[in-house]
Amino acid sequence: MKKFKRLIAIVTVLLFALTIVAPAFAQDEATTNPVYDDAAKVLKDKGVLQGNENGDLMLDKTLTRAEVVTMILRATGQEDVAEEYADADASFSDTADHWAKKYIEAAKELGIVNGYPDGTFKPEAPIKFEELCKLLVAAANETPAAGKWPLNYVKKALDLGFFNGIEDEVGIGQVVVRGQAAVGFAAAFFPPEKPAPVVKDVQPGDNTSFVVTLEPAAGYTLEDGDVTAADFEVKDAADETKTLAVKDATLDVATGKVKVTTDPQVAGKTYKVFFRGQDTTKTFAGAPVDLTADVPNPDNLKSFTIKFNDEVDPATLVKNDTIKVDGKDIYDLKLLDDNKTVYVVLSDKFDQFTKYNVLINGVKSKFGKTLTNFSKEVSVLDSKQPEVTKVEALNPKQIKVTFSEPINETKSDLYSLRDKVKVNGLYITAKITSVDPLTNSIVFELYSALTKGTQNIEITGYQDFANYTMVAKQTTFDVQEDIKAPTLVKATFQDKQTIIVEFDEPLVSGTDSTVPYGTFKVNGNVATAKFVDNTNNTQVKLTLSPALSFGTLLAAITYQNQKDLVGNTVSTEQTYTLSITDDTIPPVINNIEVLDGNTVKVVFSKPMSKTDGTVTQGTTSNNVQSSWWTDDYTLQIPADKVGLASVNGGNYTIKFENFKDMSIRGNAMLTVEKPITAKDTVKPVVSDKFKVENGSTSDYDVVKIFFSEPMNRDTIANVSSYVYVDAGNNEYPLSAVSNFTGLTVASDNKSVTIGFKNARTFTTEKFKLFAMKDLAGNLIETNGVAVVSLIGSANALVINSAKATSATEVTVTFNNKIVSVDPRILKLKVGNSEFAFSSATIDTTNSNVVKFTATTNIPADTANTSISIWDSSKITDIYGQNYRNSTDTFVVNDGIAPTVTIATGDNSKQIKLTFSETVKATYDSQVYASIIMVKVADGSFVTLDSSNVAYGSGENKDGFKTLIITAPEATTDYYITVSPTYIKDALAGNAVEPQINVKVTSK
């Protein structure tokens, strides 16, 4: 069956058909039905209807079925189909000679019409309302509603609003007049335009999008298709002639938010948003691109580059930290001028034809986008010779040679003949003062100065780190006459006692090669001067004495008698004034992490003083040492200095106190506590007990060996890691021991079972265990070797002690470590009553200890409270043993601190203390004030003595539950403090829980 064509064809041809059927009308002619008039005006405005000289539409006349079918065929562009049926036999008894037969036959074939049950079509019959509904719904490409004909089509047409305003005029079975048809056609094909929604908000998205929030016009809702990319225009707010291309627009009708996709934005640039040609007055800032990186394969063995897609924050480029190379240490790195490319130099070198992973984690763009967990595998291949790319004279005594890649050369402090460099045909006598792999350069300092003018140079013989010899180079360079004394061009404040100054050329050293000629003063005081790098003497470290005072903002640096390499001298005193930033912002900790070995790495927000600061973890406290600082921002605390040198991992807190930055104010950091998660650095050990037991048959024995923690399964399952040592100290592989039948690892990886056939008797034999590791990779015991002496067996499992630690909790300590336990192992006995436990928890730090939760409160001051074994099979120790004796009974020691309730007494001067159990006092009348303090509303304390304190009826200091305190005078409020020092429970001596500043309002 041929399909309908596009809706535009339907609209154009169908309404053209209406024009043919209905006479035209005059522009100003109107009917008495305004809905008809409005529909007719819509059709007229669209150029579909035209007026005639009579102005008569005949809107009250009918349309025939044949006319409407013909219009539909023409509207859908199916006249060619109709022509195919011009000579076809008629399907209906009353259409054989009808002028519209071919249209009717085509419509039947297309499934548009069916005819009547009696085989007729009734082509000249007026069309009824339900028939028109079907045609309009089909022409609009809509699906009928659920249900049967004709209700399904009528309901759909009404739901679509085709007959809005005339619903009461039409109905099933009624003949449609032309005015009603015009209303249906106008509504179906020329609905009124929906008012534009209002742009309420614009927010930035990612680098290629922004988000617009729309609010629909009153009385309307947002629908799919309401907005398109063409509705939006984005202009540069600073220059509206420049636009940002819009690619797509996706509307979420539920939220009213539109995601508008654009070309890449310029980060930080302000963009103005236009909607349907109107300025919304809304703007957004261009978002930064998500930071990504590419690492080209290294073309030499010493260096490589990282290319970021956006400018990066240099402070986040940290060698061997935010940038790493698996298996290699980074010597240094630098950010190139484009602020996107990082040049990285290794301390050692790559191996030729080898792959490495470059790792980036924590590098940020200048807009704060962070690249995390980036990894790129690179293949190293150096296949080319190094070349000289530049030669220049820094001054008459220094030549700088730059190569295409790092050169395998070292600095030399002694002048020597260099057989690789000739100047004007002669080998130079020089020392190498600088080999800089970051610039691929070497600086030669000549023994004798060169004369002014053009010099010839020949360079040969240097090799790269792949041992490729360079391409020989002959070139020229110019030397300028140097008659100017060195000049201080830069000074940098380090801290109140240190300033780094930099000259425009190298200085000559004095009698000590680390010290320059000449004197330096800061604010009139002589400063000690030393070269920062005594092979490239341009930077000098000045140590101030006295240090700059708090708040000093200007430092006058005077210098005299300094010399350059050709002898030019600073003959008169010169002054350089350094402005010091008045920094008042205290430093903070930006990041803290735990490195291998539990070294704690701390990164601060600012350059920090190297001599201030204390770190504390638990009971371990140390002052910071200068050697812990890897740079001005980064502190690496050795594990032993914070008590983490030998821990099984876990969560800890480190306190940082007394840290100061390097500003002139020495801003102090607030004391902070930072949580860390330490790594397991404790070597596993073999338990001092083992177990020999009968196997599954009488001729089969096993030895069970137990480890202190879960182990790496592969290392303890490896039979070759076990060596048997007999009584004569002879060693044999376990696999070679007679009757050995196999080795089994427990599911918790904390023990192994070694089987032997035909019972063996063990006396002084041993097992040596080699290269076994725990889950953290720590090797066993001493140098990866442990020894198990087979001279005993595991102790039977028993209870060592039991103690009530709360009203519902009993802590039981066993002699062996517990693997599993059921609370039903125990029962609690109080007098003649017995109670069960509802849960049991093994202590994670000491698995000998199990905490049992009782189903009822434990009377802590009852002397005959005890526990006994209920079911010995419901507990297992690390040796696989159950409890030894099911008849054991243990007294439960009282570990519960008594509590006290404080309230007013019988009159306004009384305070009543009620204790949870019988307590006793270890004080006399002279120390009442140390035990119970009473503070009145004005802040003064009431002095207590025996006259102020009374016990409950029949009680005394050796056993009481009630104390009545009478204050010397009535007051509105009391503030009571009860000290635990001298009040303890009568049976176990547990100190009362302290109560501090409890407010009691008098009656």
**Three-state secondary-structure class, residue 873:** helix
Cα 198 from Cα 862, distance rounded (Å): 78
Q: pLDDT confidence of 717, banded at 50, 70, 90?
A: very high
Number of residues assigned to the chain: 1003
Provide mean pLDDT across the span 615-644.
94
Q: Average pLDDT, stretch 473-490?
A: 96
What integer pLDDT is reported at residue 153 of this predicted model?
Answer: 93
Q: Give the distance from CA 288 to its chain's centroid.
A: 18
Residue for token digits 């002014």? Answer: 452
Across 858-923, the runs of DSSP E, i.e. the strands, are 865-869, 875-877, 889-891, 893-894, 900-904, 910-921
How far is residue 694's CA from residue 702's CA, in Å, rounded to a whole number?
6
pLDDT greater at residue 909 or residue 504: 504
Q: Are 587 and 665 in contact (CB under 8 A)?
A: no
Q: How far is CA 534 from the centre of its chain?
A: 44
Average pLDDT, the chain: 86
Output the pLDDT for position 14. 43
Backbone angles phi, psi at 728, to 5 degrees: -90, 10
Compute φ and ψ for 958, nearest 5 degrees.
-90, -5
The confidence score (pLDDT) of residue 281 equals 94
Least confident residue range of 17-26, 112-121, 405-414: 17-26
Would the pLDDT of 930 be above 90? no
pLDDT class for 539, splitting at 50, 70, 90?
Answer: very high
So what's the pLDDT on residue 183? 87
pLDDT of residue 880: 74
Q: Is 74 left (phi over 0), alpha (psi -120 to 50) or beta?
A: alpha
d(CA 590, CA 586): 12
244 vs 873: which has the higher pLDDT = 244
- In the chain the first and final C-alpha atoms are separated, in Å, by 98
Q: Give tens-digit pLDDT for 945-962.
A: 777 788 888 888 888 888
Q: For residue 886, what pLDDT is reported?
A: 65
**Lowest mean pLDDT across 197-206, 507-516, 882-891, 899-908:** 882-891
pLDDT band for position 140 (cuts 50, 70, 90): confident
- How confident is the model over 159-197, as pLDDT tens digits? 999 999 899 899 999 999 878 888 887 888 778 778 889
Of the pLDDT bands very low, low, confident and very high (cuts 50, 70, 90), residue 21 is very low
Q: What are phi and psi of 333, to 5 degrees?
A: -150, 160
Sign of the torsion formed by the C-alpha atoms of 767, 768, 773 and 774: positive
Average the pLDDT over 56-70 and give the result.
79
What pLDDT band is residue 928 in, cutting at 50, 70 and 90?
low
pLDDT, residue 856, reads 74
Residue 425 neighbours by CB distance under 10 Å: 8
DSSP state for residue 365 in the 8-state scheme: B
* pLDDT band with cut points at 50, 70 and 90 for residue 114: confident
Q: Which two tokens stand for residue 555?
A: 């430092």
Average pLDDT on 595-622 reads 93
Q: What is the largest CA-CA distance in the chain?
A: 134
Bigger pLDDT: 612 vs 877: 612
**This prediction's pTM:** 0.51
At a CB cut-off of 8 Å and minimum separation 6, what does 488 contact?
501, 502, 503, 557, 559, 574, 576
Greater model confidence, 721 or 938? 721
Range among 519-523, 645-649, 920-924 with highest mean pLDDT value? 519-523
One-letter amino acid for residue 300 of the chain: N
H/E run at residue 538: none
Query: Can you read off the two tokens belonging to residue 587?
Result: 């430093």
In DSSP terms, which residues pair with 500 in a beta bridge? 492, 541
- Two structure tokens written together for 3: 């399909």
pLDDT tens readout for residues 145-159: 999 989 999 999 999
